[in-house]
Amino acid sequence: MVSTLLAHDLLWGMTPQQLPVDAPAWVIESISAGQPVVVRRALSAAGQVAVGVRGPLREQRFAALMQVSSLTRRVRPEELRHVQGQRDFPALRALAQLRSHLDDSGWVWGVSGSAGFELASGFAALHEGSDLDLILRTPSPLSRRDAQALVAVLDAVLCRVDLQLQTPSGAVALREWAGTSSRVLLKSATQATLVTDPWNPQEQAA
């Protein structure tokens, strides 16, 4: 089961008893309220998954470990592509603007971050200044030219859009891959590495 859980998946079922004894009060409150946790890109022992707990403030993020056996529900970012939000914020208006283009791109995409959390759970996470966080699953390479074209589309909407490319070796920011630097930061479960080709596992191993 652990191998099927991916970074940015939202999970339900974690209990306050699974939190460390020094967990802040807001973390206990979030879990007790039934909020989901988000899968982190980090290693964990068998039977556990690395997760993050969200608090009401942007800086309130807490790393924890969840017992996989307690999992009751999972929502992946791509399941949220066509979920309609109940509130009116720039991030959700931007999502509505981008849906058809991303649907037509040929890639699997999804909603993460605050927008994904709110769409999946119904708990308020967005505000007027929230960015829209998206992921694009790219098992094969996305050319830098195509990345630049996609950035131009994202920059034409109502708020800042941050999109992560999910490669087989880890995640890289679309804006970095579309930039002029020869190397970009690839984040995996074990490390963050500067690479020239995020789709080349041998380069990351080196």
Write out the H or E segment, with its range, that includes residue 167: strand 161-167
Dihedral sign from CA coordinates of 74, 177, 129, 26: positive
Which residues fall within 8 angstroms of residue 205, CB to CB, at 6 or more apart? none
Task: Mark whether 131 is an active-site residue.
Answer: yes
Spatial CA neighbour of 136 closest among 144, 128, 147: 147
Task: Mark whether 197 is an active-site residue.
Answer: no
Coil, strand or helix: which one is 168? coil
Catalytic residue among 104, 133, 155, 197: 133
* Cross-strand bridge partners of residue 50: 65
Catalytic residue among 104, 131, 146, 155: 131
In contact, 92 and 101? CB cutoff 8 Å: no
Which residues fall within 8 angstroms of residue 180, CB to CB, at 6 or more apart? none
Q: What span, in angstroms and rounded, lies between the C-alpha atoms of 174 and 148?
A: 8
Coil, strand or helix: which one is 54? strand
Helix crossing, 90-103 with 144-154: angle to 10°? 140
- Residues with catalytic roles: 131, 133
